Each structure stands twice: as C-alpha cells, then as structure tokens.
Chain A
Amino acid sequence: MMETSRRRFLQMAGIAVVGFTATPVLDAFAAEHGGHEAVPSVKPGPDGLKAKQWAMVIDTRKIKSAKDLEPMIEACHKIHNVPTFTDKHHEIKWIWHEEYKHAFPSDVAKFMDERLEHVPFPVLCNHCENPPCVRACPTKATFKRPSDGIVMMDFHRCIGCRFCMAACPYGARSFNFRDPRPFIKETNKEFPTRMKGVVEKCNFCSELLAIGKQPACVEASNGILTFGDLYDSESEVRKLLKENFTIRRKQNLGTEPSVYYIV
C-alpha cells in the first residue's frame, strides 16, 4: 500500500514537472472527448520519439514572406496556450520571426543578398547544448533534459527571478507579467496554462514527441522546418547539414545552438 501510494505520488510529481494538471482532471477531459485520446505524458510512451539531442534545420530558401510562417507560429501558440497581449511589454512568444539583422545582429554585412535582407527568419529557443539559462537558474526550474537535450521549464518551480531571461542571448524567453489566462483565445486542455510570475519558452513540443509526433511548428511548416536527432548520422537533419551550408545564431558565444539555418 505504502509502495503503491509512493509510486503514485512520484508519477504525479513527474506529471507536475511539465505542469500538467492532475490526472483525474485529464481523465475527465478525455472522457468528455469520448475517452479515446491518449493522456499526455512527460515520459516518452511506447511510440515516443527518441534522440540524443533534438535539433532543427530551417530552410530559409523556402520562405517567401511572413505568410509562410504564420501557420507554424499559430500552431505552436495555439496548442501551448500562449496568450495574445496588445501591450508589447508583456508579450509572450515561443516562436516568431525577425529580420536577418535582428536574428544575426553580429553578422550583418553592409550590402547583402536582397532576399536574405528582407526574408523573415523564424526564431525560437535554440535548445543549446551549453545553455546559459540553465546555468543561471537558481532552482533548476529550467533544465536540460539528459535524455534528449531539450531545455525544459518547470512552471511550478520557477520563482520568477528572470535570471534566465538575462542569461539567454537569443531573447527566447518570456515572462508572465500578468495572468495570461484571460488572454488565451481558445484554451487547449491538453497543455497547461501558466500563472502570472513565471517564465516560459519553446519546449520543442516534448509533449508531442512523447507520443510519437513531430513538433507542431514542423508539422505546419510545409517543409521549411526539419526536425531530428543531431547525433544520428542517418537523421533528416544530418542529411540536410551534410548537403547545405548552415549558420547558427551567435555561434561565437559557445552556447552550441541546436537550431540551424540554411541561408
């Protein structure tokens, strides 16, 4: 009895790590939807995708305008309950686009390829192999998952000190300056909403990887984004890296970003 209740507790705690509401609540929702849907889990399920270090290759040659990026941004923000604020100061974003000069501010040429100069670059958390945000966090609320290299957030442990935001050289992190819930258009019950006072960012859709699905932005990208294991020489991303010249944001800082750009 003791053993079971402890195991149960550990399971619950594990679920809480990524911030899912308690299992009974999820069960209730599952029942509401006919009870067939899989309950999201943090641990990869039997069909879960595995990697040593997840990585992304962004083929910017396939981007014509910001319109091409809208579906992936919308897909991400919708399933992750990212609120829409009118006040720029309180903005929360997991994936968005920047001009080249902002995405790569230290590598700007005076005269450059016109396409590159104006094409919108998708930017998101780089899931660095050597993440400065993880180094800075005083509570391990943000951590690098050893199993697949995703830089994760524990929304329930974060004390909101924002040291990680100062440490991130990519501006990938957002802080909940106020309660985000009233500003979520349509709440996805399968992913937790956040409370005020905590930091959040892209999680490479760890909840989808766990059930064998690709990240939402990749699915919606129409081939612009490719996702795979950086250390599997047969993976899609490695094939692209082998065949194309790629750049990463602020490589000189030694953070080893896992997001590569074909330019």
Chain B
Amino acid sequence: MLELAIQGSKKYFGWIIALLVVIGMAFGIYRLQLDFGLGITGMSRDVSWGFYIAQFTFLVGVAAGGVMVVTPYYLHHYKAFGKITILGEFLAIAAITMCLLFILVDLGQPMRMFNVLLYPTPNSVLFWDMIVLNGYLFLNIVIGWNVLEAERNQTHYPMWLKPLIYLSIPWAVGIHTVTAYLYCGLPGRGFWLTAILAPRFLSSAFAAGPALLILLCLFIRKVTKFDPGREQIQSLAKIVAYAICLNVFFFLCEVFVVFYSQIPEHMDHLKYLFIGLHGHGNLVGWMWTSMFLMLAGIILLVNPYTRKNETSLAIGCFVIFAGTWIDKGLGMISGGFVPSPLHHVTEYAPTLPEIGITLGVYAAGFLVLTLLFKMAIGVKEEVRA
C-alpha cells in the first residue's frame, strides 16, 4: 500500500518537500542543541520543563482523541464512522510520533535513552508512559494497516485483530491518564496536585483530537475525491461539543476548589496564569485568549445552527483546537513551575532555537500524517472506483 503514498500531484510533492525542508532546518538546530546542551532553550533551574514537554502533553491528547471515532464504530456499531476510523487511527500514529520525538529532544542525554529499558523502574511514571505510548503506537500501526489492507482487498479484517481493537480503546484513555499522572503525583507542585488533572486532560483531548479530525475531513473533501461524509462530520462535531463543555466544566471545578479553599500554594499558580504574580504575567494574555476561544467554540458547536453550517463549524473547531493548545501547550507546564516550590517567580519563554526544533517535530508529524492519509485516501478512491 505504501506505493500509494509516493504517487501524487505536484502540489502534493511540493508540500512533502516543504515539510522536509522544515525538518532539515530543525535537525540543524537540534545538532546545535546536542552540541551546546539544553541551555539554548528558555528552560531554567526553576522552570525545568518547557515547550517540548508541553507540546508532548498536548499531542498525547490529540492521539488519545482518535479513540472517539474508534469507540462508536467498533463498540457501538455506529456504521457511519466505519468510513473515517482509519483517519482517527492514522492521526493517532502521527501524534504519538511527535510525542516520542518531543521527549527525545527534551532529554539532556538522548544517547542514553535506552537506560529506561536497561534499568526498568516501575515506580517511575515515566517508565509507564514509555510503555503506554509505544504500546499505543504499535496498536494503531497494526490495526490501521490491517483494516486498510482488508478494505483494499474488499474483505473483512482478520479476526485476531478484534481483541487488539478492543484493547486500543482503554489504552487510549490510558495514555492520557498516565501522562497526567506524570504531573499530578508530585508533592509540592500545587497546580498539578489535583485528581481532576487526568479527567481534564482527557476532556481537552477528546475536544482537540476530533476537532482537528473535522478540519482534516473538511480539507480532504476539498482536495480529494474521497468525501468523509456530512453525517460523520456532524457526529464528530457533537463529540467535540460535549468534550469542550466538559473541559471547561472541569477547569471551573478546579477554580472553585482552589479559590474557595484559598490555599495559597494552589492559588498562586492560577493567579500567575490569569492575573499575574508579583508583577510577572507573561501568560496572562494567552490564558484569557484560551478561555475566550474555548467559550467561543462552545457557542459555535453547541448551537445547532452554527454546528450544522460547515463554515462556522470549521471556525468553531479551529478556535477549540487553538484554545486547548494554549491551555495545555503553553499554560499547563509553565504554570506548574511558577512560582517555584521556594516561591520564587522565574518566568519562562521559549527561545527561537527551541521554537525551531518544535516546528521541526511538528513538520515530522505532519509528514507522517500526510503519507498515511494519502495512503488511506488512495485506498478509498481505489475501492470506490
């Protein structure tokens, strides 16, 4: 099937080359980082995780979001989604690829990364995160490939695949739960020390993942002969609507607990993010933008008129994706480190090289996504013809 990914129009190859150029430039910057150390990033002794880990966290959510098309189809036999499950699974593969790359570029000694396997440490959540992320990647590759191949041959996928498909459903929940556990089990980090963190992560994931998928479906309909289908897009839109409402609700639960209890160690982080702390407030504008975008998304997606109109739906999905990205990709990690456990305020902002490497990882993810989607759509066009 891979041959389908290397046939295409000039525009298709133009896009591939553009991605390769970005990846190449980012690789050059990464070599500088390897040479100099992580000092070329904006991270510091106080804010020891930055943009890379934040992107990783957000993208685990996008990957887990794929389960929102898999579950209705395989578990509830919602036939309409049969057409697009492969897109959800392939999106998950691309997202997990980016997650693993972000962890890699964040390591101070990347050549020692296999120490995690050489000295397995079950008491470390990072050990489990390695297992669930790689497991999810493996599951989606096996499932996606076999289901697509069966579709191409117009047969049923092999029966041995069924248990793996069922396993992939709780596994998707697992990847984002374990990722939340990286943070919420740490004493002395009041911002993350909350049982609602994993549910919050999941709800924002189930909004951001399917929202991106809707945008991709609309794009695919425009540029290929394959139509993911109006019903499919509308069903996804309802999922996004529920999920983004839950995400904002969970956030407000957190806000209530923090500000009604008035415990300073928990309040300070939210204060830093939304009103600034001791005169420092780099993220204040961003956080309010995020809230505004998510609210706008709720209005556009809950209201049936704007949800059913595909233009306003696209806008709604875009603002939800952007809003959840700011929330997790900017605020969630820095917010936990400011103020520091000693109550010093050291602010963090990514540097240019850091942003360059980040763009490169995103380009690598989009390259994987493009090739996989090209293959899937090629099969769909072939079968239809």
Write the residues of chain A forming the contact surface with B, with a CB cutoff of 8 angstroms: 87-92, 98, 101-103, 105-106, 123, 132, 135-141, 157-163, 165-171, 174-179, 195-199, 250, 253-255
Closest partner residue, chain B, to A166 (CB atom):
B186
For residue B49, CB closer than 8 A to chain A, the reply is yes
Q: Which one of B35-43, B87-95, B218-226 is at the A interface? A: B35-43
**Cβ of A106 and Cβ of B265 under 8 Å apart?**
yes
CB distance B37 to A137 under 8 Å?
Answer: no
Residues of A within 8 A of B310 (CB): none
Q: Report the Cα distance A161→B340, complex, angstroms.
A: 18
Q: A166, B109: Cβ atoms under 8 Å? A: no
Measured CB to CB, the nearest residue on chain A to B264 is: A106
Chain B stretch 295-354: residues in CB contact (< 8 A) with chain A: 336-337, 340-344, 346
Bound together, the chains give a CA A162 to CA B186 distance in angstroms of 13
**Could you tell me if A167 and B37 are in contact, using CB atoms closer than 8 angstroms?**
no
State whether A177 touches B39 (Cβ < 8 A).
yes
A178 touches B341 (CB 8 A): no
Distance, CA A165 to CA B342, complexed state (A) = 13
* Shortest beta-carbon distance from B194 to chain A in Å: 15
Q: In the complex, are the beta carbons of A253 and B187 less than 8 A apart?
A: yes
Contact pick for A137, options B42, B49, B109, B121, CB 8 Å = B121
B113 at the interface (CB under 8 A from A): yes
From A195, which residue of chain B is reached at the shortest CB distance?
A: B109
Q: Does chain A have a CB within 8 A of B200?
A: no
Q: Do the beta carbons of A175 and B38 come within 8 Å of each other?
A: yes
Give min CB distance, B46 to chain A, whole Å: 7
With known contacts A177-B38, A198-B108, A255-B187, A171–B116 Cβ distance under 8 A: no
B79 neighbours in A (Cβ, 8 Å):
none
A179 to B37, CA, bound (A): 7
Does residue B9 face the partner (Cβ distance < 8 Å to A)? no
Select one of B43, B121, B340 contacting A139, CB under 8 A.
B121
**Could you name 19 residue pairs across A and B whose Cβ atoms are closer than 8 Å?**
A89-B44, A90-B45, A101-B343, A106-B265, A138-B115, A138-B130, A158-B108, A159-B108, A160-B107, A162-B49, A165-B45, A166-B336, A171-B342, A175-B38, A175-B45, A176-B108, A177-B43, A197-B37, A197-B38
A180 CB to nearest B CB, Å: 9
In the assembly, what is the distance between CA of A102 and CA of B39, in Å? 26
A117 to chain B, nearest CB (A): 15
Is B48 touching A162 in the complex (CB atoms < 8 A)? Answer: yes
14 new A-B contacts at CB < 8 Å, known A98-B342, A105-B342, A177-B43: A90-B44, A90-B45, A136-B124, A136-B125, A139-B115, A157-B119, A159-B115, A161-B106, A162-B106, A166-B336, A170-B341, A171-B342, A250-B187, A253-B187
- Please tell me which one of the listed residues B109, B118, B124 contacts residue A160 in the complex, with CB atoms under 8 A apart: B109
Instruction: Determine whether B291 belongs to the interface, using a CB cutoff of 8 Å to chain A.
Output: no
Q: How large is the interface on B (under 10, 10 to 19, 20 to 34, 35 or more residues)?
A: 35 or more
A90 vs B48: C-alpha distance when bound (angstroms): 10
B288 contacts the other chain (CB 8 A): no
* B130 contacts across to A, CB distance below 8 A: 138
User: Which of B108, B121, B189 is the one whose CB lies under 8 Å from A140?
Assistant: B121
B188: Cβ under 8 A from any A Cβ: yes
A171 with B37: CB separation less than 8 A: no
Q: Please tell me if B277 contacts chain A, counting CB pairs below 8 Å.
A: no
In the bound complex, do residue A178 and residue B123 qualify as a contact, i.e. CB atoms below 8 Å apart?
Answer: no
Q: Which residues does chain B contribute within 8 Å of A250, judged by CB atoms? A: 187-188, 341
Given A98-B342, A177-B39, the answer on whether A196 and B108 have CB atoms closer than 8 Å is yes
* Other-chain contact of A171, B42, B186, B336, B341 (Cβ < 8 Å): B341
> Contacts A103-B342, A177-B43 hold; do A132 and B38 have CB atoms under 8 A apart?
no
Distance between Cα atoms of A159 and B115 in the complex (Å): 7
Q: Is A89's CB under 8 angstroms from B265's CB?
A: no
- Interchain CB contact (< 8 A) of B39 among A159, A162, A171, A178: A178
Docked Cα-Cα span, A160 to B107, in Å, equals 5
* B286 close to A (CB within 8 Å): no
Tell whether, in the assembled complex, residue B124 and residue A177 are in contact, meaning their CB atoms are under 8 Å apart. no
Whether A89 pairs with B119 at a CB distance below 8 angstroms is no
Let me know if A88 and B44 touch, CB within 8 A.
yes
A64→B113 CA distance, assembly (Å): 47
B284 at the binding interface (Cβ < 8 Å): no
Q: B107–A169 contact, CB under 8 A?
A: no
**Considering only CB atoms, which chain A residue lies closest to B38 in the complex?**
A177
| Most chain A beta-carbon neighbours within 10 Å: one of B103, B119, B187 | B187
B384 at the A/B interface (Cβ < 8 Å)?
no
Chain A residues whose C-beta falls within 8 Å of the C-beta of B188 in the assembled complex: 132, 168-170, 250, 253
Q: Encode B30-71 as 1/0 by CB contact (under 8 A) with A.
A: 000000111100111110110000000000000000000000
Q: Which residue of B lies closest to A87 (CB)?
A: B39
Measured CB to CB, the closest approach of chain A to B357, in angstroms, equals 15
Q: Please indicate which of the listed interface residues A103, A169, A197, A255 has the most CB atoms of chain B within 10 Å of its own CB.
A: A197
